[in-house]
Chains A and B, each alone.
Chain A
């Protein structure tokens, strides 16, 4: 039965494979190693931001400020690098900014109990404006060439270092979440808040930490973003929050919290990042991008919600039926 949990990621992965195959059937020129590896290489920014978002969703909340967080960090780090600042200092500054934004969100949501969507929407607006304040609306250009090469630096064949490092990080985070005491707290708090309190889990602190982690991941993705694109505009990172949520949902993470894994989020992110490339091979053009994302998102959440409601209803009825002594109802109903 542990497979069920795994199956959620597995089905996302199968979905990805089927997607590739369908496109391959329609246009055989797609199915080359180069194309498929490129799909993965291109998805690094999405993966990182989605893994962060996964933390917010695990605890049953959401963070729509990651897009602005990504953009702002990219702007600040980009400026520092352009001005010849030490790389380590620049990266650290970026990460601290991300953590600070996360901390603020976590405080508002977990401590002050503001609905997370509304609170992070406000943060998003403020940070987006701050990007303009920081640069005066100008593009951040002329980043060091070595920095720009960082993203595309190959490791073996056409596989890049950045993708490999990201993949390793995702696996490490996954293992930390599954196999450490505190790692499991995130899922537990989202799964059953009352139950979490009963076994002594500090719910508020766990939620704040989740937001900080989310903020840090968004910041890192901002740094990677500036390396990949090579310049930062005032609208950089726009819409990444929505794509990250969509990636998480596609990766089998339940928006009511407590279900899923960062591996799933990463697979979802690869799907999200690949859609525009796939569309090109299907000769549809990127105009279908949003439509397809929207349809997939809606289809998955609706099916998920209906299934969850069914299970809950079944459990309730089984519980009630047990009281009347008609014990045969619902027994063995766990197929």
Chain B
């Protein structure tokens, strides 16, 4: 049943990932032509620090969306993680790595709570994660009140070995955030596409009823995806805190649109059942470069960046909807039939 090498190549060339790769190259060419500075490796790599958190979270929100759910709370967990690290370290005298562990555990707990409501109580994922967004952002604010410094200032002055986490540059140029991202891509890829757990995620997304008739505990699978996405948000929070050198409760509050766009653009069906990690990774890079290139090369203010991202999201969902619309499908079928005649 193994396909030949040439078949594999052919399959890859016609895949959606290839389209995304072309988009990435096109971005590089266009931005590079408009402003050659864009292609300076040091600048390009440095720019990645600004959007790596989105890439990291998108990877695991992909899991959630494959099960047919949605996660709009991940952004608020970034801020929660960040502030928990800051407060436990600064005001409760924890070792910085203990603080990090506490923050990850808290994030996992938040994910588990939302996941529980969604999987076991049958509440729509959208509503629960909406409430979660309020709740976790609110808790982050409360935690920041425990700090001796004012919340708008953030907590800074972290020890050097924590700062190193995001400051290290491999080979003098590759930022450690990118390395973290690539490691997570590998982990997510293996988890989703190579393990039994990953297979269950897909099956649950395609048809939860059929999955349960196959003896799969679909509720547990659904809940676990929210835990994973919360943990990925906490990792993004850790890296971001380390990179910025200060802990703030409102980090990540405007990530939602970018995350969802990255996942949907990456080829994940908004109705669940289909999607892949590589697609999401590429799509998040497409969005990231867009957010870096437009201001640099076309002098577009960073505040405007929601427009292209929003349009991208609308274009992708509308395009997919149109392709699956009964009228278009009928038309296609008619064209196909009329061709041989």
Contacts and interface: CB of A to CB of B under 8 A. Distances in A.
B310 interface: yes
A305 B132 CA distance: 16
Interface string A236-258: 00000010011001000001100
A119 B135 contact: no
Interface string A63-76: 00000000000000
Contacts of B308: 129
A267 interface: no
Contact of A117 (B70, B318, B325): B70
B321 A122 contact: no
A126 B134 CA distance: 23
B322 interface: yes
Contacts of B313: 118, 121-122, 125
Given A115-B270, A122-B310, A129-B305, A297 B138 contact: no
Contacts, number: 148
Interface in B291-329: 301, 303-311, 313-314, 317-318, 321-322, 325
A179 to B, nearest CB: 30
B133 A137 contact: no
Given A112-B321, A115-B271, A294-B132, A129 B137 contact: no
Interface in B50-107: 70, 72
B121 A294 contact: no
B303 A290 contact: no
A132 interface: yes
Range class of the A interface residue count: 35 or more
Given A289-B138, A290-B141, A123 B310 contact: yes
A295 B137 CA distance: 12
Interface in A284-333: 285, 287-295, 297-298, 301-302, 305-306, 309
A44 interface: no
Interface in A78-127: 108, 112-115, 117-119, 121-127
A277 interface: no
Contacts of B260: 118, 121
Nearest to B151: A287
Contact of B307 (A112, A126, A137): A126
A4 B325 CA distance: 40
Contacts of B271: 115
B256 interface: yes
A294 B314 contact: no
A59 interface: no
A125 B309 contact: yes
Given A242-B133, A287-B141, A302 B322 contact: no
19 contacts: A117-B72, A118-B70, A118-B264, A119-B317, A121-B260, A122-B310, A122-B313, A128-B310, A129-B306, A242-B134, A246-B130, A246-B131, A256-B124, A285-B145, A290-B138, A290-B141, A291-B139, A292-B138, A294-B138
Interface of A: 62, 108, 112-115, 117-119, 121-130, 132-133, 136-137, 234, 242, 245-246, 249, 255-256, 285, 287-295, 297-298, 301-302, 305-306, 309
Given A123-B310, A242-B133, 7 more contacts: A121-B260, A125-B309, A129-B310, A290-B138, A291-B138, A297-B127, A298-B135
Interface of B: 70, 72, 117, 121-124, 126-128, 130-139, 141-142, 144-145, 256-257, 260-261, 264, 270-271, 301, 303-311, 313-314, 317-318, 321-322, 325
Which 3 interchain pairs have the tightest Cβ spacing?
A294-B135, A125-B310, A291-B138
